[in-house]
Amino acid sequence: MADYQETLDLSSYAALGDSFTEGLNDPGPDGQFAGWADRLAGMLSARRPEHDFRYANLAVRGRLLDQIVAEQVPKVRQLRPDLVTLCAGGNDILRPGSDPDLIAEHFESAVLELRENAGTVLICTGFDTRNVPVLRHLRGKIATYNAHLRAIADRNGLAVADLWSLRAVHDRRAWSEDRLHLSPEGHQRVALLAARALGLPVDADPEAAWPPAPVLTPADQRRENLQWARTFLLPWVGRRLRGESSGDHVEAKRPELLPL
C-alpha cells in the first residue's frame, strides 16, 4: 500500500475496467458518466502542486476480462502512468458456467504486465450480492474470485479497495434504478474507499451512516421488484441470450492522459 507521501507524488492515473469504472449512472457535468474513478482522479489532482495531474479512463461498459486485457492493458505500455486501477472480471463471473479460478489466472497475468508499466496498481474486489435479487445466487462464485484477488494482491504488492466489506453499499440508495450500477453517492463511497486504500487522507468516511429512509411495505417491495425485472432484468437477460453487449460500439471516454 502506498503511504501518504508517495500518494502525493502521483502525477498520472489510468483507470481500466468495465461499466463500474466507466462510471455508469453517475452523470457528470460534461454529459458523460463520471463515476468513482473520475472522483478519485479529482481527489488526487487536488493534492498535486499546480494541479499538474493527468488522467485517462479506458474502461468500457460490458467488457469481459480478456477484452480488457486485449484492448486496455497494452495501452498502459504507452501511457506509463504513476497509478493504474484494474477492476475486472465481474462480467465474466455473471456468465453461466464461468470458472472463477481460471478468471483469476487471467487477471494475475494482466497484473504482472501492468506492474512493469505503472508505478502503483490498485485492484477492487467484487461486491457482496447477498441482498441483490438474482445475483445473490452468484455470491459463492464472487467470494471465491475475491479470495483469489486478495492472494494476487499479496503476491504482487497491490493496493486493494475491498468492496466486499464496504457495508455502506448494502443500502439501496447506493445503487441506481437498475441495481447493477452504483448511484452517484455509491460512486462517491467507492472513491473514498479507493483513496483510503492508497493512503490518501479523505475528508469523509465511506462507511458513514445514511440518513433514515422510508420503510417499504412487503407489497411495495414486490411491486418495486416486478417493475425492476420488467425494466432492467429482462432486457439484460435478452442481451445475454442474443450475444449482445451494452458496450458494443462504445469507446473509452478518456483514452489519453490529459489534465483534468
CB atoms within 10 A of CB 8: 16
Residue 40 corresponds to which amino acid?
A: L
Name the residue with cell 479497495.
161
- DSSP assignment of 85-153 equals EEE--HHHHTSTT--HHHHHHHHHHHHHHHHHH-SEEEEEPPPP-TTSTTGGGGHHHHHHHHHHHHHHH
Condensed to tens digits (0 to 9), the pLDDT of residues 49-96 reads 776 899 999 999 999 999 999 999 999 999 999 999 999 999 999 888
| Band of residue 9 on the pLDDT scale cut at 50, 70, 90 | confident
Q: Give kind and range of the element (H or E) at residue 254.
A: strand 254-259
List pLDDT tens digits, range 90-147: 999 988 899 999 999 999 999 999 999 999 999 999 999 998 877 889 999 999 999 9
Domains, in order of start, for the chain: 4-207+216-259 (3.40.50.1110)
- Residue 132 CB-density burial (10 A; 0-12 exposed, 13-18 middle, 19+ buried): middle
Chain mean pLDDT for the chain: 90
Q: Which three cell numbers stand for residue 34?
A: 463520471
Q: Model pTM?
A: 0.90
How do beta strands 54-57 and 254-259 pair? antiparallel
DSSP 8-state secondary structure symbol assigned to residue 51? G
Alpha helices (runs of H) in the chain, residue ranges in sequence order: 4-8, 19-22, 36-46, 65-71, 73-79, 90-93, 100-117, 139-156, 184-197, 218-228, 234-242
Instruction: Look at residues 212, 162, 225 and name the one whose alpha carbon lies nearest to residue 189.
Output: 162
3 Cβ neighbours under 8 A, 6+ residues apart:
199
pLDDT of residue 232: 73
